[in-house]
Structure 1
Amino acid sequence: MTDRTLAELRADVREFVADELAHGRFTPMVDCWLTGWDEAFTRRLAHRGWIGMTVPTEYGGHGRSHVERFAVTEELLAAGAPVGAHWIADRQIAPSLLKFGTESQRRRLLPGIVAGEVFFGIGMSEPDAGSDLAAVRTRAEQVDGGWRVRGVKVWTSGAHAAHYFICLARTSPLDTSDRHAGLSQFIVDLRGPGVTVSPIRSMNGSHHFNEVLLDDVFVPDEMVFGDIGNGWLQVTSELAFERSGPERFLSTFPLVAKLADEPDLARSSPAFGANIARLAGLHTMSESVAHTLAAGHDADVAAAVVKVLGTTLEGDIADDVDVILGDDVHQPELARLVSTATDQRPGFTLRGGTNEVLRGVIARGLGMR
């Protein structure tokens, strides 16, 4: 795809966003990909062909490139648009289904994802396990016709509104010499028997995270995801999509954009120019990962680098604008964005794997440990 065509695509998205704003269909928000659940907005994006862009046409998708998808998602994130409803399904589940799913699973789930009608969560993290996914205690036991799953998952964004999540569970006893062995994944119906979704509320009272209790949940054989025992390889592949995208450095971009509209405030920020430069660098790095994934290559280490640097920057932006705004009562819109950013800030470096853990991933990938 030529640079000119890509620029035209970005212009189309910006025109769409401007029209949405003009009609009052959304208000720009911080962390829009996590907290902005708006199914009507998602359906309008789907109608424009901007969900499932990289999904082959045989599954209802659009057969476009990862770079084109990157351009669309970057524009939507920069605008603070409410993309949360389809985000996980489009970013992570669709490419994982194409890589590891059965033909039946692809035909059953991908058309709904592309249409903005089927929503997913992620069932990885657990209490007391944190970013150490090899420590998960959720277990799956084989029974006639399928598997029985028991355990608890936390930080499952959107599980209260999603249809499914992909659950990581242990299917064989822990081998202390190889903690990554014996893990498997399952597509779990979040509205099925034995599933209880309980809200985890943020300090400001908002609700987008959840705890999911799996009490002897039956998963039929046709909803086993990938190969039994191959869960660790699959999860690490999925995490490359989760960690490398523009959402890892643009969660607080609406703050930067709003600050740029207030030149006096922007000039009072010693970090404003440096943060713009950091954003530009991360844009290039993240786009490079999109090219790598498009070529079918692994990008685990590069994705971890983007995640560590990007989420650190997101927090720095929140802190910087919070300090320079102070008690200024004449900037209500900026104050609203800052309030959300400071509330969400602790999660920036936690979700998708803590930055401390990812530094270890980077060191190992570079042969340093």
Structure 2
Amino acid sequence: MQTFVTEAVDWPETAPALREQVRALVAAYGERDPVRRANSWTKANPQFSKKLGEAGLLGMTWPKEYGGHERSQLERYVVIEELLAAGAPVGAHWIADRQSGPLLLRLGNEELKRRWVPAIARGEAFACIGLSEPNSGSDLASVRTAARRDGDGWVLNGQKVWTTGAHVSHFIIALVRSEAGSERQQGLSQFVIPMDTPGVSVKPIIDLTGAHEFNEVFFEDVRLPETALLGTEGEGWKQATAELSLERAGPERYLSSMVLFLELVRYAGAKQDMALQQLIGRLTADAWTLRLMSASVATKLARGEDPALEATMVKDLGNSYEQAIPQLVQAAADLGDTDAATLRDVCFYLLQVSPSFSLRGGTREIIKGIIARGLGLR
């Protein structure tokens, strides 16, 4: 039976300098509002993303030929850990830097790579992922958006939903049914679609906090060239599920509520409250364990291994952790205290949005099924 084996992380010698570089950028250009600093990897600020690109902090591990910087996976980990711990507004470039760029480098034709990858590394091109569809729930394979061959290209029709960041994105990588009459995981392909293509439209989905992060995306007779096909026709399911593994083990899977934890530490510093001190100790120990697990996955990726099961475990445990923080703070702290105004605002915001944390990148039920299969339990 496969189990999760953590290992000592050999942090690069450049880590201290990278941390200082990120902290300086955040101090100069980052978000000030503590509520907006929570769950920050969904908060878009294109100007901040461009500053990161100018500083060489996007596309860090990619080939220089395509605008990257050929730095290590652990150097990139240091940067994103610092950004998330500080609540920096990284939502505009997040998906493009985390998964779309690597996917294009691995599977894209030369035209796609040249058009998009250097622009992502400069912080000038953002991406969204077209997976979920209406009335499908967690059933990703029930794709109805369809692409049909037409001459030397394709015509695309359909709809995607819960598309994070579509309103600020320059392109979408969509999973569509490219083989008429196919079912489930068969006959699916991925296409790279510029958002300004005629027939593509975006409708906002406003969440219960009034924020605009999700969208519906509509495709109405969208004409695409043959070069829009990503990878191999009919291999879309395999490509998309491999792409999802890039989502699941980063520090964003346990740091979404870290701003609230830091506010709790600040608030408790002026109180003589044993319950708050014990809660801080517990949350610190849990965060440190998750950090070790997450960084271990990054180390294995750097060696060229495929720690897909370990990444899925990090996502599940990390989601539980970041969802628990606002509930534990609400139970332990006196949020009616006049000194707790900021703590209260951040806590109430996260109480509203944190239930969604376990949906992104795969629902908890799907994730537990993947873990059970990987452990030989089903």
Band the TM-score falls in, shorter-chain normalisation: over 0.9
Name the residue aligned to 2:112. Answer: 105
Name the residue aligned to 2:168. Answer: 161
Name which of 27, 39, 42 aligns with 2:33.
27
Name the residue aligned to 2:192. Answer: 187
Distance (Å, rounded) in 2 between the aligned partners of 1:355 and 1:104: 37
Give the aligned length. 363
Name which of 323, 326, 329 aligns with 1:321.
329
Give the partner amino acid of 1:251: S
Contact 2:19–2:79 (CA under 8 A) maintained in structure 1: yes
**How do residues 85-104 of structure 1 correspond to structure 2 at under 5 angstroms?**
85-104=92-111
Residue 134 of structure 1 deviates from its aligned partner by: 1.1
Name the residue aligned to 1:47. Answer: 54
Distance of aligned partners of 1:145 and 1:26 in 2 relative to their CA distance in 1, 3 Å threshold: farther
Name the residue aligned to 1:197. Answer: 202
Residue 243 of structure 1 deviates from its aligned partner by: 1.3
Residue aligned with 2:141, SS? helix
Distance (Å, rounded) in 2 between the aligned partners of 1:192 and 1:267: 59
Distance (Å, rounded) in 1 between the aligned partners of 2:272 and 2:341: 14
Name structure 1 gaps, 5 residues minimum: none
Residue 299 of structure 1 deviates from its aligned partner by: 2.5
1:330 is the counterpart of 2:336: no
Name which of 231, 236, 241 aligns with 2:241.
236
Give the partner amino acid of 1:9: L
Distance of aligned partners of 1:196 and 1:250 in 2 relative to their CA distance in 1, 3 Å threshold: same
Distance (Å, rounded) in 2 between the aligned partners of 1:48 and 1:337: 30
Distance (Å, rounded) in 1 between the aligned partners of 2:260 and 2:348: 11
Name the residue aligned to 2:284. Answer: 276
Distance (Å, rounded) in 2 between the aligned partners of 1:198 and 1:111: 28
Contact 1:174–1:181 (CA under 8 A) maintained in structure 2: no
1:342 is the counterpart of 2:351: yes
Name the residue aligned to 2:15. Answer: 6
Residue aligned with 2:351, SS? helix
Name the residue aligned to 2:71. Answer: 64
Distance of aligned partners of 1:2 and 1:346 in 2 relative to their CA distance in 1, 3 Å threshold: closer
Name which of 119, 127, 149 aligns with 1:120.
127
Name structure 2 gaps, 5 residues minimum: 1-9
Query: Deviating runs (4+, > 6 A) in structure 1?
Result: none
**How do residues 141-180 of structure 1 correspond to structure 2 at under 5 angstroms?**
141-173=148-180, 179-180=184-185
Distance (Å, rounded) in 2 between the aligned partners of 1:306 and 1:209: 24
Name the residue aligned to 2:319. Answer: 311
Residue 173 of structure 1 deviates from its aligned partner by: 4.4
Residue aligned with 1:121, SS? strand
Give the partner amino acid of 2:233: I
**How do residues 261-300 of structure 1 correspond to structure 2 at under 5 angstroms?**
261-263=266-268, 264=271, 267-269=274-276, 270-300=278-308
Distance (Å, rounded) in 1 between the aligned partners of 2:236 and 2:181: 13
Distance of aligned partners of 1:75 and 1:102 in 2 relative to their CA distance in 1, 3 Å threshold: same
Distance (Å, rounded) in 1 between the aligned partners of 2:148 and 2:334: 55
Name which of 356, 366, 369 aligns with 2:375.
366
Residue 336 of structure 1 deviates from its aligned partner by: 2.2
1:352 is the counterpart of 2:361: yes
Give the partner amino acid of 2:322: E
Contact 1:282–1:306 (CA under 8 A) maintained in structure 2: yes
Residue aligned with 1:151, SS? strand
Contact 1:147–1:221 (CA under 8 A) maintained in structure 2: yes
Question: Identity over the aligned pairs, expressed in percent?
Answer: 45
Contact 2:29–2:48 (CA under 8 A) maintained in structure 1: no
Name the residue aligned to 1:16. Answer: 25
Contact 2:335–2:343 (CA under 8 A) maintained in structure 1: no
Distance (Å, rounded) in 1 between the aligned partners of 2:109 and 2:274: 55
Distance of aligned partners of 1:273 and 1:112 in 2 relative to their CA distance in 1, 3 Å threshold: same
Distance of aligned partners of 1:267 and 1:55 in 2 relative to their CA distance in 1, 3 Å threshold: farther
Residue aligned with 1:271, SS? helix
Residue aligned with 1:84, SS? coil
Give the partner amino acid of 1:37: A
Pairwise CA RMSD of aligned residues?
1.8
Distance (Å, rounded) in 2 between the aligned partners of 1:252 and 1:266: 22
Distance (Å, rounded) in 2 between the aligned partners of 1:125 and 1:174: 20
Name the residue aligned to 1:259. Answer: 264
* Alignment TM-score, normalising by the size of structure 2: 0.91
Distance of aligned partners of 1:135 and 1:204 in 2 relative to their CA distance in 1, 3 Å threshold: same
